Amino acid sequence: MELARFLHGSADARTAGQTLTHGRAYEAFGNVLFGGRRRQVFTRLARLSGARPGDRALDVGCGTGYLTLCVADAVTPAGSVLGIDPSPDVLTHARRRADRRPHCTFADGIAENLPGPDGGYDVVVSSLMIHHLPEHVRARSVAEMHRVLRPGGRLLLADFRPPANPVARHLIGAVTGPVMEHNPVHLLEPLVRDAGFTQIETGDLHPWIHHVRATKPGRPE
């Protein structure tokens, strides 16, 4: 199916992950998927990330920049947020959206090999990206998030929680493909724990989001 193909089907040579190629269509799909609650859900995610004015934040697999801009609002003034994604098309869309916000920038990059030195960020966020990665790459990408966070820095991961109702789940699968239908979000927490994070909390946001937040142990230098 065409929608499933462009949501999860176009590979970038640098990553085993599946990149998006249609920024505008993804935007329309995102608005429909959240049924009018997208702003509310992503504002809440930005709040859960603990991003504060002055923080340096990174959004991994930022897509069209929806969460990136919510985090940008949280870190201003004096802070900054960088959104990274391997898809040029979604980055174009994100840059347009962030017009006139110099503290909100976007760059090409992949989760398995994040830009920036060890400890360069106060906050790392990532929404709806992990299910784009094959399972064998997920631990590596969370380890990278751990590496680029400073001691005491905070992580917020959010991903698609398939509906419990089997009919609704099947419908999601028919439209978006098997990745979202069977997304094992319960594995996010052990992934984060195994990467060395502590103070781990999990939760759900209506309608489709499971989130995990955690802290990199240690004191800020």
Ligand X SMILES: C[S@@+](CC[C@H](N)C(=O)[O-])C[C@H]1O[C@@H](n2cnc3c(N)ncnc32)[C@H](O)[C@@H]1O
Task: Write the DSSP assignment of 40-84 as a string of letters.
Answer: HHHHHHHHHTT--TT-EEEEET-TTSHHHHHHHHHHTTT-EEEEE
> If binding is defined by CB under 6 A, does position 212 make contact with ligand X?
no
Q: Candidates 96-104, 124-132, 164-172, 185-193 — which segment interacts with ligand X by CB under 6 A?
A: 124-132
String marking each residue 38-77 x if it binds ligand X according to CB under 6 A: ----------------------xxxx--xx----------
> If binding is defined by CB under 6 A, does position 15 make contact with ligand X?
yes
> If binding is defined by CB under 6 A, does position 197 make contact with ligand X?
no
Q: Give the whole-angstrom CA distance, residue 133 versus residue 18.
A: 7
Q: CB of 64: closest distance to ligand X in angstroms?
A: 6
Could you give the C-alpha distances from 54 to 112, 117, 119, 151, in angstroms and in order? 26, 19, 16, 16
> If binding is defined by CB under 6 A, does position 176 make contact with ligand X?
no
> If binding is defined by CB under 6 A, does position 90 make contact with ligand X?
yes
* Residues 44 and 34 sit within 8 Å (Cβ to Cβ): no
Q: CB of 61: closest distance to ligand X in angstroms?
A: 3
Residue 98 carries which DSSP code? T
> If binding is defined by CB under 6 A, does position 183 make contact with ligand X?
no
Which residues in this chain contact ligand X in the complex, by CB under 6 A? Answer: 15, 17-20, 30, 60-63, 66-67, 85-87, 90, 110-112, 127-129, 132-133
